[in-house]
Amino acid sequence: MKSTPVPSPLTPTQIVDEYFIETRNRIIEVAAFLDRLDRADPEIASQDFRVKALHQALELVLAGSATGRVREIQLLMSDQDDRPLASLDRKGAVGAPDPSNRSPRA
């Protein structure tokens, strides 16, 4: 059942040439978001579970991973408790597991 990978035809330098500017922009956007929060409340990073998750994700970006940074960050941002909710608490997800959510599990 294993499919055959299709390597990118681009050389490493071509990948940098092609994607550097937009990636540069994205990391500046991340920094701008964190600066914005600092101006609003420097303590928010230690209080809000989503911002804490972002800080941890940034550490994973720098650390690298044999299985891929994206996969590691996706796992970090996932609820690892597979037990179903006993009842519906809300309609939507919020982007990161909330440790203060005490919805009963089955």
Residue 27 CA to residue 89 CA, distance in Å, equals 34
Q: How far is the CB of 42 from other proteins (least distance, A)?
A: 26
Give the binding-site size for other proteins (rule: CB under 8 A).
37
Backbone angles phi, psi at 105, to 5 degrees: -105, 150
Q: Phi and psi (nearest 5°) for 103?
A: -55, 130
Q: Where are the beta strands (DSSP E) in the chain?
A: none
Q: Which is nearer to other proteins, 28 or 86 (CB)?
A: 86
Rg (CA), the chain: 18
Sign, CA dihedral 73-27-32-21, equals negative
Q: Could you say which residues in the range 10-39 bind other proteins, by CB under 8 A?
A: 10, 18-19
Q: Which of residues 58-97 bind other proteins (CB under 8 A)?
A: 68, 70-71, 74-75, 77-82, 84-97
Measured from the CB atom, is 32 or 70 closer to other proteins?
70
Where does this chain bind other proteins (CB under 8 A)? 1, 3-10, 18-19, 68, 70-71, 74-75, 77-82, 84-97, 106
